[in-house]
Structure 1
Amino acid sequence: MRTISNLDLLVNRDWLNQMHCRTMQLLAMAGRCTPAVDLLMYRALEPTHDIHHHCHARQEDRWSYPCHYVNEEDLGLLGLAVDSTPKVDLADAAAFLRAAIDADRPVSFYAPRGHFDFWVDRMRRDGTRPDEYFLLHSFMCCGITADAREVLIVDTTSAGNLHPFVVAFDVFTSAYPADPDRWFLICQSLRQFRATPDVGAIETRYIDWLDGFRDGFEVYDVIADSFAGERDRFPEWYRRPSLNSLVLLAGSRDFFRRFLAHTTHDAGIVSAFAANADLLVTLLDETTRLQNGMSATSADELRGMLAAMKSRERQALRALQTDLRRLTAGRRSGRLLRPSGDRNGDTR
């Protein structure tokens, strides 16, 4: 089988599984291309009112949340272009996939996930509702045999790791005719057109974003008021608004701490954001255990932790914005970013 090179550099950076599947894949592709991938996270500090609206007001799951990072414009600042094909017919699919692999580029496409055995096994283990088995999922192809009888799909496991799965092309040919409009949709790959990131442009965008960022962090009050009764209202764990909110909060803060590690911000402030990201993971774990009747933490203790987290977020943001004014006094750029790091680095 012919595969892309450097498969080991294709790693899942979304370890909390908060992102839409395609966004996660584009981030993994970007990390394979450049060690500056963490610079994409300059505005990963998701506004909590957006998270509240998505998870609580609309009761949407976390994977459909439209995160404000890993978009085509910001990828362009890293020297990466998104090449997209709206639809590929079955007759052209093998040649299309082979062309991407020959160009040494992973390529993602949408298809109903219920036709892939490894996804069916995962959904059974995760307790996915049967009526959701055939929702669209983004599959990332990283290899194909010369006779096009097998393809290599790299996808996440329940544990969050990217893993290679060999899939027979017969899976495509047998399922496609009954549902052709839902196969090989929005096929995307990344093309590197510049070897180094536009650090100045990223720095300017970060300054403008942080200078205008406002948040009261009231979502922690909403979670405190709602988490206790969610298990009965939402039997499927992945539908519970408080858990989805906490995953998005913890994941976005983890991404943002990775960006801050490449800045010249005060070390104490950077450490405070890192500590907040870690504490949010603890809050997520405790909320999950409590909803499942497995936690020694009481509901009132958890509410106290949420109130403390709200205070910590406010303090950290205030300190960061004050430090930004210090660093940019009399000068708009060139003092904030120091891009470095290895491709597989994880600053957790």
Structure 2
Amino acid sequence: MAVQQGSRVTTIGGIDAIVNRDRANHLNCRKGQVLAFVASRSPWWELLLYGALGSTYDIYRHCYRRKGYRWDFPAPYVRDDDLAALGWFSGHQAKADLDEVRDALPEYLANDQPVLFMAPRADFAYWVDFMRRHGTIESEYRELHSYLVCGLSTDRQTVLIVDNTTDNHEYTSFLIPMADLAAGYAREPERWFTDCQTLLRVGEPDLPELAVRYHRVVAGYTDRFELYDIIADSLPAERAAIAETYRTPAVNSLALLAGSRGMFCRFLRRTSHSPQVLARYEQLTAAVGAVQERVGRYHGGGADVSLDELHRRLQGLRVREEQAARLLREDLHRTPVTFHDAEG
């Protein structure tokens, strides 16, 4: 979409530095966008990931009991209270109308603050194209998505949205006519401009407080990792009952496991934990990702993947998790964690 002649788009600073930090594509859209933006401005962003291991029971409850996807899982990291400890202000408004958004955008963007809001995916042509390419079932087209507004034309008739609907899930810019936003809002106003948010860096990170929070997480980490056994038991029934691989609880669970452990590795690299702890979690992350790929092939009918193989691999993952968690607790018990800068 071209901007009208005589007008130009003014953006917040550094939008080229907004890159995808979630290579496993497991976070919900809002958390992924917040993480990408904060990481473009803060050298300490990995500290937001101290709670990434989370509870595998919570993953089971979300994917198996609630039939939820990886993208709507309430991950216990990239949270507002941790953003505050990192030195960021996160402002929220539950619902806005079109006029409020039009009036507020120039001031926020001039203050170098992005604006995020929720709206139906099907009201954006680039999202419809993405969903068609990736085989999204049509009944899901109008689900809500978070939009990250980073620019506005001087005539206020075009907004610049940064989104990761590329095939490699990397962020890129889309110029969207304000008229498209108005048309979508008129069609379904109650579902437009919900969960509005803006972000602003206001200080330096409180490293001692973040260390206390991390110690608290590890002290209470008593996971038994039964989820791996549940996944193994569910595979045949899921292949028979669910056509689309992305909808299966097993694949969603494994994506959340691979993504969260990968995020935890990024946190560990900024800590004083022993190299052995980091190596153990890096090996675990790679192993979970490999099993996720094999499970996807099994669900798609791949003849080179057997159920016995997957059972063995999943049992091995549970053992790896137990060993890594034990080593983590022992290491933290020996020496309280400290953080170092990105250069080490």
TM-score by length of 2: 0.94
Structure 1 residues 245-286: Cα deviation after superposition (integer angstroms, max 9, x where no partner)? 000000000000111111111111211101111111111111
Instruction: Pick one of 83, 87, 90 that aligns with 2:98.
Output: 90
Q: CA deviation at 1:297?
A: 3.0
Instruction: Output the CA distance in 2 between the equivalents of 1:319 and 1:3.
Output: 46
Query: In the alignment, residue 27 of structure 1 is paired with which amino acid?
Result: L
Query: Which residue matches 2:88?
Result: 80
1:180 aligned partner, one-letter code: P
> Would you say the 8 A contact 2:245–2:300 is kept in 1?
no
The Cα shift of 1:109 comes to 0.6
Shift of 1:113: 1.1
* Secondary structure, counterpart of 1:33 in structure 2: coil
> Does the aligned pair in 2 maintain the 1:221–1:307 contact within 8 Å?
yes
Q: 1:101: how far off?
A: 1.3
The answer for the alignment partner of 1:331 in structure 2 is none
Contact (CA 8 Å) 2:272, 2:340: kept in 1 or not? no
Instruction: Find the counterpart in structure 1 of residue 4 from structure 2.
Output: none
Aligned residue pair count: 334
Distance across 2 between alignment mates of 1:107 and 1:37? 19
Q: Distance in 2 between matches of 1:58 and 1:133?
A: 20
Quote how far apart the aligned CAs of 1:166 are.
Answer: 1.0
1:239 offset after TM fit, Å? 1.6
Tell me, in whole angstroms, the C-alpha distance in 1 between the residues paired with 2:157 and 2:67. Answer: 42
Secondary structure at the residue paired with 1:263? coil
Instruction: Please say if residues 245 and 299 of structure 2, whose CA atoms lie closer than 8 Å, have aligned partners that are also in contact.
Output: no
Q: Which residue of 1 is the match for residue 341 of structure 2?
A: 340
- Structure 1 residue aligned with 2:304: 296
Q: Please tell me whether residue 168 in structure 1 is matched to residue 182 in structure 2.
A: no
The more displaced of 87-96 and 55-64 is 87-96
1:8 maps to which of 16, 32, 35: 16
Q: 1:249 aligns with which of 257, 268, 286?
A: 257
Superposed CA offset, 1:121-161 (max 9, x none): 11111211212111111111111101112111111124211
Letter paired with 1:242:
A
* Matched residue, 1:324: 332
Q: What letter matches 1:340 in structure 2?
A: D
The answer on 1:186 being equivalent to 2:187 is no
CA distance in 2, matches of 1:15, 1:212: 28
Q: Between the two proteins, what is the percent identity of the paired residues?
A: 38
Q: What is the rounded CA distance, in whole Å, between the counterparts of 1:200 and 1:66 in structure 2?
A: 26
Matches within 5 A, 1:1-348: 1-157=9-165, 158-194=167-203, 196-294=204-302, 296-328=304-336, 336-341=337-342
Classify the secondary structure of the residue corresponding to 1:82. strand
Runs of 4+ in 1 over 6 A off after TM superposition: none
How far residue 91 of structure 1 moved from its aligned partner, in angstroms, is: 2.2
Distance 1:295 1:146 in 2: 57
Residue 152 of structure 2 contacts residue 158 of structure 2 at CA under 8 Å; is this kept in 1? yes
**In terms of mean alpha carbon deviation, does 157-166 or 273-282 score higher?**
157-166
- CA distance in structure 2 between the aligned counterparts of 1:51 and 1:304, rounded to whole angstroms: 21
Q: Which runs of 5+ in 2 are unaligned?
A: 1-8
* Cα distance between partner residues in 2 of 1:114 and 1:11: 24
* TM-score calculated relative to the size of structure 1: 0.93
Q: In the aligned structure 1, how far is the partner of 2:41 from the partner of 2:331?
A: 32
CA distance in 2, matches of 1:58, 1:176: 29
| Cα 1:208/1:116, change in 2 over 3 Å | same
Cα separation, 2, equivalents of 1:39 and 1:339: 10
